[in-house]
Each structure stands twice: as structure tokens, then as C-alpha cells.
Amino acid sequence: MGIIVICCTISPKDSYRDLARDILGKDDLIEYFVSTPIEVCEKRDTKGLYAKARSGELQNFSGINAEFENRL
């Protein structure tokens, strides 16, 4: 009997994803990349985090003031 865990995260750096793969094992980690236009993300943002990131109030926000390393 196995356990399946679905975990939605934003892992902006390749090194973070590599660490998860090292911990879980490359055969036990399935990574999906969902590319959504930034305009759609901002439109769906009910907490106003994108606006805070754009104003400088929120730092290191992927896609606004922090890079996302996409190896695909």
C-alpha cells in the first residue's frame, strides 16, 4: 500500500526542486510546470499580493521582483 501526496508549491529555483528530488527520490517526485500569464495571475489574486509586490511592499515575489528559473 502506498501513499500519494499532491502538494502545490511555487519553487522558483532549480536548486529547491533538486533538493526535493534528492529527498524524495527521482522516481517518487513528479513535477508539473503550469505556465499562466502574469495578467491572469493578477486577475485571480484575491489577496492583492501581486499589487503589493509591484508596489515594493512584498519582496522576492516570483514573476514580479524575483526570477523563476524555468528549465523546461
Query: DSSP secondary structure string, 49-72?
Result: HHHHHHHTSS-S-BTTTB------
Hey, which residues are catalytic here?
11
Q: Mind listing the pLDDT tens digit of every residue in the chain (72 residues)?
A: 688 889 888 888 999 999 999 999 999 899 888 889 999 999 999 999 999 999 999 999 988 999 888 876
Q: What pLDDT sits at residue 2?
A: 84
Are 30 and 24 in contact by the 8 Å Cβ rule? The answer is: no
Does the predicted TM-score (pTM) go above 0.85? no
- What integer pLDDT is reported at residue 72 of this predicted model? 67
